[in-house]
Chains A and B, each alone.
Chain A
Amino acid sequence: MAATLPAQSDLARAPGGAPGPAGITRPEFARSPDADVARTRNAALALGAFVLLYLSWQLTGWIPGSKENVGDLLILPIDAAAVYAAWSASRRCIGSSRLRSFWRLMAFALAAEALGDVIQAIYDIGLHHSPYPSLADPFYLVFYPLLLLALLTVTTRTKLLKPTLDGATIVVGGGAVVWYLVLGPTVEQSQSPLTMGVSMAFPLGDLFLLAGLAAMLLRPGPIAFRAPLKLITAAVLLGIGADVLYGYGQLHGTYRAGDWIDTLYVLEFATFALAGFSQRSVRHGDPDAEVEDTAQSRSRASWLPYLSLAIGLGVLLGVEWGTRFFPTVSLVLIVIVLAVLVAARQYVAQRELVQAQAALRESERMKDEFLSTVGHELRTPLTSIRGSLGLLEAGVLGELPADATNMVSVAVLNADRLVRLIGDILDIERMAAGGLLLEPVAVDATELVSQSLQVLQANANAAGVTLCEDVAPIRVMADADRIVQVLVNLLGNAVKFSPPGGVVTVTVERKNRCAIFSVWDTGRGIPADRLEKIFERFRQVDASDAREKGGTGLGLPIARGIVERHGGRVWAESRVGVGSTFRFTLPVAVADLEPVRSGVA
Chain B
Amino acid sequence: MSPRLLLVEDADDIRAIACLSLERIGNWTVVPAASGQAALEALAGDVPFDAVVLDVMMPGLDGPDTLARMREGALAPKVPVVFLTAKVGAGERERLLSLGAIGVIAKPFDPLTLPEELRRMLDR
A384→B90 contact, CB < 8 A:
no
A375→B17 contact, CB < 8 A:
no
A390→B90 contact, CB < 8 A:
no
Closest to A382 in B: B108
Task: Choose, from A9-17, A237-245, A311-319, A430-438, the stretch at the interface.
Answer: A430-438
Q: Is the interface of B mostly helix, strand, loop or mixed?
A: loop
Assess whether B82 is interfacial by the CB under 8 Å rule.
no
Assess whether A360 is interfacial by the CB under 8 Å rule.
no
Partner of B17, one of A372, A388, A423, A435: A388
Chain B, range 17-72, C-beta contacts under 8 Å to A: 17-18, 20-21, 24-25, 57
Task: Choose, from A113-121, A321-329, A391-399, the stretch at the interface.
Answer: A391-399
Partner of B11, one of A380, A394, A415: A380
A371→B109 contact, CB < 8 A:
no
A394–B14 alpha-carbon span in the complex (Å): 17
A387→B18 contact, CB < 8 A:
yes
Question: Which residues does chain A contribute within 8 Å of B108, judged by CB atoms?
Answer: 379, 382-383, 385-387, 415, 419
B17→A391 contact, CB < 8 A:
yes
B87→A375 contact, CB < 8 A:
yes
Within the complex, the shortest CB–CB distance from B9 to chain A, in Å, comes to: 10
B112→A436 contact, CB < 8 A:
no
Closest to B12 in A: A384
Q: Interface range on chain B: under 10, 10 to 19, 20 to 34, or 35 or more?
A: 20 to 34
Residue in A382, A386, A390 whose Cβ sees the most chain B Cβ within 10 Å: A390
B89→A383 contact, CB < 8 A:
no
Question: Which residues does chain A contribute within 8 Å of B73, judged by CB atoms?
Answer: none
Question: Which residues does chain A contribute within 8 Å of B25, judged by CB atoms?
Answer: 394, 396
Closest to B89 in A: A372
Q: Beta-carbon contacts of A432-457 to B below 8 Å, as 1s and 0s?
A: 00011100000000000000000000
Known A379-B108, A394-B112; judge A436-B90 contact (CB<8 A): yes
Closest to A430 in B: B90
Residue in A382, A387, A391 whose Cβ sees the most chain B Cβ within 10 Å: A387
Assess whether B1 is interfacial by the CB under 8 Å rule.
no
Assess whether A351 is interfacial by the CB under 8 Å rule.
no
Partner of B89, one of A368, A382, A390, A394: A368
Known A379-B107, A382-B108, A394-B112; judge A387-B21 contact (CB<8 A): yes
Closest to A380 in B: B86
Known A384-B11, A384-B13, A387-B109; judge A376-B20 contact (CB<8 A): no
Question: Which residues does chain B contribute within 8 Å of A396, judged by CB atoms?
Answer: 20-21, 24-25, 111
Within the complex, the shortest CB–CB distance from B111 to chain A, in Å, comes to: 4
Partner of B57, one of A376, A386, A430: A376
Within the complex, the shortest CB–CB distance from A459 to chain B, in Å, comes to: 15
Question: Which residues does chain B contribute within 8 Å of A375, judged by CB atoms?
Answer: 86-89
Question: Which residues does chain B contribute within 8 Å of A419, judged by CB atoms?
Answer: 108
Partner of A387, one of B24, B87, B111: B111
Q: Interface range on chain A: under 10, 10 to 19, 20 to 34, or 35 or more?
A: 20 to 34
Q: Beta-carbon contacts of A12-45 to B below 8 Å, as 1s and 0s?
A: 0000000000000000000000000000000000
B107→A383 contact, CB < 8 A:
yes
Question: Which residues does chain A contribute within 8 Å of B13, judged by CB atoms?
Answer: 384, 387-388
A386→B110 contact, CB < 8 A:
yes
Question: Which residues does chain B contribute within 8 Å of A376, judged by CB atoms?
Answer: 57, 86-87
A372→B110 contact, CB < 8 A:
no
A380–B106 alpha-carbon span in the complex (Å): 10
A100–B43 alpha-carbon span in the complex (Å): 83
A437–B89 alpha-carbon span in the complex (Å): 10
B17→A371 contact, CB < 8 A:
no
Closest to B17 in A: A387
Question: Which residues does chain B contribute within 8 Å of A391, judged by CB atoms?
Answer: 17, 20-21, 111-112
A373–B13 alpha-carbon span in the complex (Å): 20
Within the complex, the shortest CB–CB distance from A75 to chain B, in Å, comes to: 71
Within the complex, the shortest CB–CB distance from B85 to chain A, in Å, comes to: 8
Q: Beta-carbon contacts of A90-106 to B below 8 Å, as 1s and 0s?
A: 00000000000000000
Within the complex, the shortest CB–CB distance from B7 to chain A, in Å, comes to: 13
Within the complex, the shortest CB–CB distance from A399 to chain B, in Å, comes to: 14
A382–B57 alpha-carbon span in the complex (Å): 16
Question: Which residues does chain A contribute within 8 Å of B88, judged by CB atoms?
Answer: 372, 375, 423
Closest to A392 in B: B111
Partner of A390, one of B14, B92, B110: B110
Chain B, range 91-124, C-beta contacts under 8 Å to A: 91-92, 107-112
Partner of B111, one of A371, A382, A390: A390
A419–B21 alpha-carbon span in the complex (Å): 20
B107→A390 contact, CB < 8 A:
no
Residue in B20, B108, B109 whose Cβ sees the most chain A Cβ within 10 Å: B108
Q: Beta-carbon contacts of A195-206 to B below 8 Å, as 1s and 0s?
A: 000000000000
Chain A, range 326-376, C-beta contacts under 8 Å to B: 368-369, 371-373, 375-376
Question: Which residues does chain A contribute within 8 Å of B92, judged by CB atoms?
Answer: 372
Within the complex, the shortest CB–CB distance from A393 to chain B, in Å, comes to: 8
Closest to B113 in A: A390
A387–B118 alpha-carbon span in the complex (Å): 16
Residue in A375, A380, A385, A423 whose Cβ sees the most chain B Cβ within 10 Å: A380
Question: Which residues does chain B contribute within 8 Å of A436, judged by CB atoms?
Answer: 90
A289–B46 alpha-carbon span in the complex (Å): 83
A384–B14 alpha-carbon span in the complex (Å): 5
B residues whose Cβ falls under 8 Å from a Cβ of A: 11, 13-14, 17-18, 20-21, 24-25, 57, 86-92, 107-112
| Besides A387-B17, A391-B112, 16 new A-B residue pairs in contact (Cβ under 8 A), listed by A number | A369-B89, A375-B87, A379-B86, A379-B107, A380-B14, A383-B11, A383-B17, A384-B14, A386-B108, A386-B109, A387-B111, A391-B20, A397-B20, A415-B108, A423-B88, A437-B91
Of the A-B pairs whose beta carbons lie under 8 Å apart in the complex, a sample of 12, sorted by A's number, is: A369-B89, A372-B87, A375-B87, A379-B86, A380-B14, A380-B107, A382-B107, A382-B108, A383-B11, A383-B107, A383-B109, A384-B11
Pick the 6 closest A-B CB pairs, nearest first.
A387-B17, A372-B89, A379-B86, A383-B108, A383-B107, A386-B108
A residues whose Cβ falls under 8 Å from a Cβ of B: 368-369, 371-373, 375-376, 379-380, 382-388, 390-391, 394, 396-397, 415, 419, 423, 430, 435-437
